[in-house]
Amino acid sequence: MKLAKDFPILEAELEYATPRSESNVNKLCRLTGTAPPVAVGTSGVKGDDFRQLAPLHPFSLLSPFTWVARRPVKKKMEPCSCDTFVALPPATIDNRIIFGKNSDRPCDEVQEVVYFPAAVHDNLKEHLKCTYIEIDQVPETYAVVLSRPAWLWGAEMGANEHGVCIGNEAVWGREKVCDEEALLGMDLVRLGLERGDTAEKALNVIVDLLEKYGQGGNCSEGRMVFSYHNSFLIADRNEAWILETAGKYWAAEKVEEGVRNISNQLSITTKIDREHPDMRNYAKQRGWWDGKKEFDFAATYSYLDTAKMMISPGRYCEGYKLLNKHKGNITFETMVEILRDKPSGINMEGEFLTTASMVSILPQDSKLPCIHFFTGTPDPERSVFKPFIFVPNISQLLNTSSPTFELEDSVGKKLQFNSKPDRRHPLYQKHQQALEILDNKTEKAKTMLDNMRKLEKELFKEMESVLQNKHLQVDKIVNLLHQCTEDEIRIYKSNVSS
């Protein structure tokens, strides 16, 4: 079993923060055998206590970072990472598209599952407040279900009422990361879902907003400042799109069959179906592309040797192998098992760990409902995937909604907390207590895990029945996710108190 700490990272220096230097690159070469040339302005992490010297090699196993401590205390930080997958017929069975994502975030960050109904916005003069900036509102937004870090406006992953799913990844490359507050990649996930009723329309929403408002800002709550570019996997009932960005520049690849995954590296090479109009000219101006050889987005905008991309050790390659292992027979249960895989590093442990997971079934038959499964808790191997289906009058998801805190004063100035607010929702709290038992590997732990698997198996069977019988009990579906979390909490309570 691989932990995040098992992957190559550099040890913190016992000095004050300094710009990236050649010596840091030499250390990287010694530890990983590969490194980008020294470049200015590629850092994405700063802060009062730590500063990232460089996104050292975005394509080593887990995109390691070097951190420098201001205080004489050694500290290692595991890298941020995520993995998003999609499988389309003929790789799947029953003419379904299967979407899945693990969200890997700081281990103390709570992720909530929340629902927002569709809405009509009559007063378009009122701006929409995202995590950091305000943007223009649109006349209508669609209903969405989101899995998101509880401190921000956007989302790591989610779905809308039209069967569109989006997950994003942190990526780095040659283009400088913007620390100034703009739209987070996670904001763009939510905006794409709220405004796009197909995968390609959601892509249009994201690239238009990227051009108008840019991307940037702190992607972590607290004193550490952590920023990055973004890639997105966007899927609907018919197709999927990979969208990868570098600042305002982007490339997109259409996926109509088979399997595809993204991780913390650029992965679009020469198959580019859509692109920013100035993407190639900008690369020529920066000296990254000579304008003669075939344009390769990942190779041009990052330090990746794309010829070795599918054989290099790393989560991108490991994820691709897992998808291909099951190609032709992929079900939503298969995707759940991929997200639970620890030897590959897909299910991460350490200071950065898998804090939440999502799997969606998108039937190509429009008469069938899309079904979305969320954990709302860390470590999918020791969590329950619970279903959600869009129907009118959805009950509020109280067990997976975090408490809210006033983040601004009366004049709009951000409040500073001396410590992180307690954002644990009811399910998260009980799950944390359950993990203490599961860690002990006692007979009680085995009984509890068996009960969790039994509940999940029953839910999977019930959802498969919905798809096979083409019948929805709407009065039951309204409370589906809420009732599932109640059942899960009951398992935790009975074992914690006994």
The DSSP annotation for 268-318 comes to --S--SEE-TTHHHHHHHTTS--SSSPP-HHHHHSS--GGGTTTSSSHHHH
First to last CA, the chain: 31
Query: In which band, very low, low, confident or very high, does the pLDDT at 414 lie, cut at 50, 70 and 90?
Result: low
Query: In which band, very low, low, confident or very high, does the pLDDT at 13 lie, cut at 50, 70 and 90?
Result: very low
Q: How far apart are CA 45 and CA 67, in angstroms?
A: 9
Q: How far apart are CA 408 and CA 392, in angstroms?
A: 33
Which residues, in sequence order, are bridge partners of residue 241?
A: 234, 254
| Under 8 Å between Cβ of 57 and 68 | no
pLDDT at 48 over 80: no
Residues found in the chain = 498
Query: In which band, very low, low, confident or very high, does the pLDDT at 152 lie, cut at 50, 70 and 90?
Result: very high
Which residues, in sequence order, are bridge partners of residue 105?
A: 353
Overall average pLDDT of the 171-183 stretch: 93
Confirm whether 82 is a catalytic residue.
Answer: yes
Query: In which band, very low, low, confident or very high, does the pLDDT at 80 lie, cut at 50, 70 and 90?
Result: low
| The predicted structure's pLDDT at residue 289 | 97
Q: How much of the chain exceeds pLDDT 90, in percent?
A: 72
| The predicted structure's pLDDT at residue 408 | 54
Q: How far apart are CA 436 and CA 423, in angstroms?
A: 19
Query: In which band, very low, low, confident or very high, does the pLDDT at 231 lie, cut at 50, 70 and 90?
Result: very high
| The predicted structure's pLDDT at residue 248 | 96
Residue 91's CB: how many other CB atoms inside 10 A?
21
| The predicted structure's pLDDT at residue 174 | 96
- For the ranges 23-27, 147-151, 405-409, 417-421, which has the lowest average pLDDT? 23-27
pLDDT at 267 over 70: yes
Q: Are strands 371-374 and 249-255 parallel, antiparallel or unpaired?
A: unpaired
| Under 8 Å between Cβ of 124 and 190 | no
Residue 107 vs residue 53, higher pLDDT: 107
What is the token pair recorded at 57?
Answer: 């090699």
DSSP 8-class letter at 263? B
Ranges of each domain in the chain: 82-394
DSSP 8-class letter at 4? G
Q: How far apart are CA 193 and CA 167, in angstroms?
A: 10
| The predicted structure's pLDDT at residue 413 | 53
Which residue of the set 29, 80, 82, 317 is catalytic?
A: 82
What is the token pair recorded at 256?
Answer: 């109509």
Amino acid at site 127:
H
Q: How far apart are CA 37 and CA 338, in angstroms?
A: 35
Q: How much of the chain exceeds pLDDT 70, in percent?
A: 81
Collapsing DSSP states into helix, strand and coil, what is residue 259? strand
Q: Annotate 163-222 with three-state secondary structure.
A: CCEEEEEEECCCCCCCCCCCECHHHHHHHHHHHCCCHHHHHHHHHHHHHHHCECCCCCCC
> Residue 241 is inside which H or E element, if any?
strand 240-246
Query: In which band, very low, low, confident or very high, does the pLDDT at 20 lie, cut at 50, 70 and 90?
Result: very low
Q: Are strands 45-47 and 224-226 parallel, antiparallel or unpaired?
A: antiparallel
User: What's the whole-number average pLDDT of the chain?
Assistant: 84
DSSP 8-class letter at 453? H
Taking alpha carbons only, the member of 127, 224, 226, 146 closest to residue 188 is 146
Q: How far apart are CA 166 and CA 190, in angstroms?
A: 8
Taking alpha carbons only, the member of 491, 484, 293, 321 closest to residue 399 is 484
Overall average pLDDT of the 316-342 stretch: 97
- What are phi and psi for residue 457, nearest 5 degrees? -60, -40
Query: In which band, very low, low, confident or very high, does the pLDDT at 417 lie, cut at 50, 70 and 90?
Result: low
What is the token pair recorded at 432?
Answer: 């944390």
Overall average pLDDT of the 41-60 stretch: 35
| The predicted structure's pLDDT at residue 135 | 97
| Under 8 Å between Cβ of 352 and 5 | no
What is the token pair recorded at 265?
Answer: 């590296």
| The predicted structure's pLDDT at residue 415 | 55
Overall average pLDDT of the 106-112 stretch: 95
pLDDT tens for each residue of 357-398 = 999 999 999 999 999 999 999 999 999 999 999 999 998 899
| The predicted structure's pLDDT at residue 302 | 95
pLDDT at 238 over 90: yes
Query: In which band, very low, low, confident or very high, does the pLDDT at 449 lie, cut at 50, 70 and 90?
Result: very high
- Select the CATH number that applies to the domain covering 82-394 from these four: 2.40.50.140, 3.90.550.10, 3.60.60.10, 1.10.645.10: 3.60.60.10
- For the ranges 14-18, 156-160, 220-224, which has the lowest average pLDDT? 14-18
Packed helices 315-325 and 332-339: angle between N→C axes, nearest 10 degrees: 150
| The predicted structure's pLDDT at residue 24 | 33
